[in-house]
Amino acid sequence: MCPQKVLPPYICTYQGVLLAGVDEVGRGPLAGDVVAAAVILDPAYPIEGLADSKKLSEKKRKLLFDQICTRALDYSIARATVQEIDRINILQASLLAMRRAVEQLSVQPEYVLVDGNKKPDWTYPCDTVVKGDDRVAAIAAASILAKVTRDRELVELDKQYPGYGLARHKGYPTKMHLQALQQLGPSPVHRASFAPVKQLLMDLV
């Protein structure tokens, strides 16, 4: 996790508006929480190299993660759990995680830009931006915080539930992961509502 952020005694704006970028990571995997982040960048401390987290190397993501934690005006990381994903579906869980991330910011934004084409149910003035992690620096920063956080969590889950290769594929439905599921059955961190896991659970009944 990021260290606790000490906010500067002023609030910076982006084109006259205090802007937060929001993104989530982990909609496609079969295991683990979906993680979201919200970031308000500080124009006084620019960060070079921000981009869609999926297009960055692991080393670059970790470097930028530390810079975002140090230089952003404010940031927040939140999640929706596996249980929530199974109860309300992955889309609604992703929107819930993003809403939590924004609501947990210490500095409340005046405007929010959300990656994708769906926005959470909230009162913040906002817009959605398709491929926003490639187009908006604050969204790119949020995608990096979310991905590095989730990747680290899957490494830890791999220690708790060995054999699935979670540290390697981060829960995505790779051939290795699907084979491990067939051999070991689902673990408590697998999403029971996702088709490959759901089918295995039905076969066990």
Binding residue ranges:
23-24, 115
Cβ contacts of 38 within 8 Å, gap of 6 or more:
20, 21, 22, 75, 76, 78, 98, 101, 102, 104, 105, 109, 112, 142
| Separation of alpha carbons 146 and 78, rounded Å | 8
Q: Which residues are annotated as a binding site for a divalent metal cation?
A: 23-24, 115
Contact 122, 23 (CB under 8 A): no
Residue 130 Cα distances to 18, 79, 116, 138, 139, angstroms:
21, 21, 4, 14, 11
